[in-house]
Amino acid sequence: MNTNIRRLESISVGKLDEKANYIEKKDGVSVYRLNMGEPDIKTDESYYKAFAMYAKQAPKVNAYGDYKGNVDLRKSYAVYYNEKIKRNKFNKEDIQVTLGASDAIISTLKTVCNENDGVILIEPFFADYKMYCKLLGLDVKSYTIKEIMSNKAKIDDNCRVILFSNPGNPDGKVFNKDELDKITRLAKKNDLYIISDEVYSEIAYSKFISLADYDYNKSIIVDSASKKFSNGGARVGAIITKNTSVLDNIHKIYNARISISNVEQYAVNNMFKQKDKIFDNILKIYNKRKNNIENYLQKQDVIKYEVPDGGLFFLLELPVKDTEKFSEWVLENYRLDNQTVYIQSAKDFYCGNEGKNKVRLSFNNNSKYVIKGLDLLKDAVEEYNKNEGVPVFKSTESEITSKKTSVKTKSNIYGFDEGAESKITKRILDKKLAKNIATKKAVKTDLVKPVKESIRNSERKIEKRINSTTKVEPRISKLSKTAKLQARKKKNI
């Protein structure tokens, strides 16, 4: 078995996917998925119409295509980038069509690096970058853009590449001219390749500058139809570079792979003919979602956040020590009205521990859905911290399901679950609660029974019950006149 593959560790989101699917199917739990990186916007009809168009003109035999990619699609990519930088720089010979952006990055790294060479990732980075590097036996170092700007990045002798996404995933960072200038100077000084992953370039809420605008010979751009065309299933991407030596060697990889799907390339090229309309529509939708989520986050004080300049994600900071453990706890042990939330820890987006208290929030769903998920997330954080990770199964009707017994039971006047068996953090009723209880009228005599006992015995039983029951929200019940008089004698219940 390949040593590099055996050493790979699945990113945290992969570990929880099966768990989320399981509780949805087995337990019927509604899981609000705030982790997803796949666009939900309807793929433009120009993509699907292309299949019918292709069928009318297709040859009898669907033979292998050009290993470099469909000629018309390569021309479309060249025109697209020339329009983006407003000059005639690229032609079809500067383009290699790939099986999406991930394939493009792996093939490029495989071409420009030998095993044990070094790659610098700009933090926070797309989690899969680290996995690609491990797969190829490459050493990884990471620096923030602030560290690079302040000359704190140390370049080892084995370093070959600087790799980053622009706009960034997971933080939506759009690199400005000064930052791109600095990255380019650093690469030139140390004879490094630059790989700029620009799959989110059409989802930018501030001015976007492509690495294509730089004439550094070791610049390489990676692109894909997945995000900007909302078409992840096509699995069509591209490598764009003026470096003929790099392309000549990349061609060897794709020649060995034979070719990319003919009809998929044809269909994506048909989308390029409608690109302005498609890009405008997608940007408008995501920008509205971003603004709605920002408005929500401004009105709460549990979650810290930074507003993204582009892309489909917010990077959130939660008041928990380990978001990976928290994310797993939420799926397993948190329910509100039989709903829970699936959020991805940001741990995998860093080489160190900087992401341990952060999560990536995706808005690849409508604002109403995401905000409902954020409501659940905020409540889950509060319950997690309040109860030190003990299971919480509750409803807005104050009916609590014990995790151990899985039986809904009625709460007594103090709000404690009579049938609960799960242990909770010790908590004693405060004076304010006792006063509120004492001023209410009873409607059921069985609910008043604990109060009719002597005050001293009641107090001891309350504390004992707190130590051994599932945590629930206190509930105010009405007391009878007799119970009210007794309660007034002791206001510290």
Please state the domain extents for the chain: 3-41+278-394, 45-275, 409-489
Q: What is the pLDDT of residue 463?
A: 58
Right CATH for 45-275 from 3.40.640.10, 3.40.50.720, 3.60.20.10, 3.40.630.10: 3.40.640.10
Q: What is the pLDDT of residue 2?
A: 82
So what's the architecture of 3-41+278-394 in CATH?
Alpha-Beta Complex (3.90)
Strand partners, 408: 401
Among 386, 67, 94, 103, smallest CA distance to 256 is for 67
Q: How far is residue 238's CA from residue 351's CA, in Å, rounded to a whole number?
A: 27
Q: What is the pLDDT of residue 445?
A: 39
Q: What is the pLDDT of residue 408?
A: 40
Among 448, 446, 429, 442, smallest CA distance to 491 is for 429
Among 378, 374, 369, 327, smallest CA distance to 348 is for 327
Beta-strand relationship, 358-362 and 139-144: unpaired
47, 231 contact by CB (below 8 A): yes
Residue type, 348: D
Residue type, 55: A
With 0-12 / 13-18 / 19 or more C-beta atoms within 10 angstroms meaning exposed / middle / buried, residue 276 is exposed
Contacts of 21 (CB under 8 A, 6+ apart): none
Same CATH topology for 3-41+278-394 and 45-275? no
**148: phi then psi, degrees, rounded to nearest 5:** -65, -40
348, 406 contact by CB (below 8 A): no
Q: What is the pLDDT of residue 6?
A: 75
Strand partners, 144: 123
Among 176, 186, 174, smallest CA distance to 150 is for 186
Q: How far apart are the first and last CA of the chain?
A: 66
| Residue tagged 């997608």 (tokens) | 282
185, 214 contact by CB (below 8 A): no
Q: How far is residue 129's CA from residue 428's CA, in Å, rounded to a whole number?
A: 50
Question: Across the 493 residues of the chain, what is the mean pLDDT of every consecutive 10-residue run?
Answer: 75 72 90 89 96 91 95 98 96 98 97 97 96 95 97 95 97 97 98 98 97 97 97 96 97 95 97 97 97 96 96 96 93 93 93 92 94 96 86 68 41 36 35 41 40 52 54 44 52 41
